[in-house]
Amino acid sequence: MAKDIELKIYMPEKLILSDKVYRAVLPFDNKTITVLKGRAPTLIALERGVIQILNEENNVIDEWLVSGGCADIKQDTCTILTEACLNKKELNYQKAQELNKDFPNPFYHWIEELFEKQEKYKAK
């Protein structure tokens, strides 16, 4: 199958991502919701969590950390509006600590905890 979904992520000051994707998994209602081509139109409130972008083999190829927001899902588009969103590839535990120290808020604290758990898992 082709990359048939136009995924866009907006923060108040700019467009963060505009890309064609095969599938996206969004954090919703203590679960996830999967966006595929042809999905019924849906407007949902996103929770703080991870947006995963998957390829045809259902492997995660990209992850975005989102503070919450909303997603407008239509036939072949998914538009996300959020206050804060960061690409997970651009972060590590040290950068997460610095973010939380420089701009303390619940979202950056959550990111720091996420990377702290990963560091502890790697150490085992």
What is the per-residue pLDDT across 48-86, written as a single tens digit (0 to 9) for each?
A: 999 999 999 999 999 999 999 999 999 899 999 999 999
What range does the domain containing 40 cover?
A: 5-86
Q: How many domains does the chain have?
A: 2
Q: Tell me how far apart the alpha carbons of residues 76 and 66 are, in angstroms, rounded to a whole number.
A: 21
Q: Tell me how far apart the alpha carbons of residues 15 and 28 are, in angstroms, rounded to a whole number.
A: 22
pLDDT band at 1 (very low <50, low <70, confident <90, very high): low
* Same domain, yes or no: 18 and 76: yes
Which residue pairs, CB below 8 angstroms and at least 24 apart, start in 11-19? Answer: 11/82, 11/83, 11/84, 11/85, 12/83, 16/64, 16/85, 17/64, 17/85, 19/53
* Same domain, yes or no: 10 and 62: yes
pLDDT at 123: 64
